[in-house]
């Protein structure tokens, strides 16, 4: 984990901006090719949020069939990519047992624009609450070039 400390001279408050490389992401998440859908974490606030990047490439296997002649990233994979960014936040929470976080629910997810090869998907996932250190709820948002591509609430459950 690479850490950059930024000091704002106007209020003398120090904030930490943390970046996770693909190698560090692979130490935190169990996903692997072709299902690892996060290339880098560009911002991380412990216990609060993470911002991740997915560089969408035409070489990804799902584009062969979704759709020939008009490749569009499947919505379920956009949701999964947002969830993986959320997994970075959840796996780093103090006092949370080790295990595997799985989807427990998906609410209010909407798709606003297609995601296509060449796009850079920027996903911001904020932790809303954690219950009994086993259940989490997050607000997720995915953008391309500052335009909203998808958003919704994701719920997670820790399994042994």
| Contact indicator for 126, 49 with CB cutoff of 8 Å | yes
HSE (CB half, 13 Å, CA atoms) of 84?
28
Output Rg (C-alpha) for the chain, integer angstroms: 16
Report in angstroms the alpha-carbon separations of 91 from 8, 129, 150, 158: 29, 14, 23, 10
Q: Identify the active-site residue in 66, 113, 134, 141.
A: 66
- 31 is a catalytic site residue: no
Both tokens assigned to 48: 């609060």
Q: Catalytic positions, please?
A: 66
């Amino acid at each position: 984990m690479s850490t950059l400390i930024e000091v704002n001279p106007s209020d003398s408050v120090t904030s930490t901006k943390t970046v996770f490389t693909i190698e560090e992401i692979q130490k935190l998440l169990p996903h692997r090719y072709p299902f690892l859908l996060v290339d880098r974490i560009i911002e991380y606030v412990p216990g609060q949020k993470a911002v991740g990047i997915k560089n969408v490439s035409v070489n990804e296997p799902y584009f062969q069939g979704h759709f020939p002649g008009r490749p569009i990233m499947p919505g379920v994979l956009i949701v999964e990519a947002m969830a993986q960014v959320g997994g970075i936040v959840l796996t780093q929470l103090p006092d949370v047992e080790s295990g595997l976080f799985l989807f427990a629910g998906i609410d209010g997810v909407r798709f606003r624009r297609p995601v296509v090869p060449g796009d850079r998907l920027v996903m911001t996932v904020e932790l809303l609450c954690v219950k009994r250190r086993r259940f989490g709820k997050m607000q997720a948002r995915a953008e391309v070039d500052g335009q909203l591509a998808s958003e919704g609430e994701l719920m997670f459950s820790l399994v042994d």
